[in-house]
Amino acid sequence: MSTSSRQAAGGDSRSSRIAVGSDSRDSVADSIALTLEEAGFAVIRCGAVEGPATPWPEVAEQVGRLVAQGAADAGVVCCWTGTGVSIAANKVPGIRAALCKDAETARAARRWNGANVLALGLDAATPDSAQAIVDAFLGAGGVDPEEVPNVERVAVMERRYGATRDARRTREG
């Protein structure tokens, strides 16, 4: 893990906090957490990376909440395909989770879409391939200045539809 990766994630390695979670115990998810710790990141282990198997919606919410609340600078969530944790994490207000199967997509998700949570599928990943994706995601730097207005548009949409959803819930009781 390069110094630029640590800086992009939220500062130097002593202050960068990365939440890493998986629904099931898996050598790939364990390897991601361990490699980040060895690189000096403060890793917040969630779900099966910390303890027993955890339903994928719960681990995605746990990682998403840590990132949204500022307790973690970025997050990595894993399940068999990565799709479920991506969908669930994106339900947490303020989360922009991206399901990435390669390093270039992970880098672009960070730079062009302001992704703050990386979703990974464990079905075809190896520890080395997954770490390359994580490194690209964390090392991408901030949002490209030309894309900031688009990321802000997504935040406006989230507020608009979040408020509508909350109002509907109130009416339905």
What are the residue numbers of the active site? 79
135, two tokens: 């490194």
The secondary structure of residue 36, as a DSSP letter, is H
Confidence category of residue 57, pLDDT binned at 50, 70, 90: very high
Question: What type of residue is 6?
Answer: R
Query: What is the distance between the alpha carbons of residues 46 and 40, in angstroms, rounded to a whole number?
Result: 18
pTM, 2 dp: 0.87
Arithmetic mean of pLDDT, 148-159: 94
CA 26 from centre of chain: 17
DSSP structure string for 101-116: SSHHHHHHHHHHH---
**How does pLDDT run across 78-87, given as a tens digit for each residue?**
999 999 999 9
Query: What is the distance between the alpha carbons of residues 162 and 48, in angstroms, rounded to a whole number?
Result: 30
Instruction: Quote the strand ranges of 55-143, DSSP E.
Output: 74-79, 97-99, 117-121
Provide the pLDDT for residue 65.
98
Residue 5 has pLDDT above 60, yes or no: no
Arithmetic mean of pLDDT, 129-149: 96
H helix or E strand, kind and range, residue 46: strand 42-47
Arithmetic mean of pLDDT, 17-27: 97
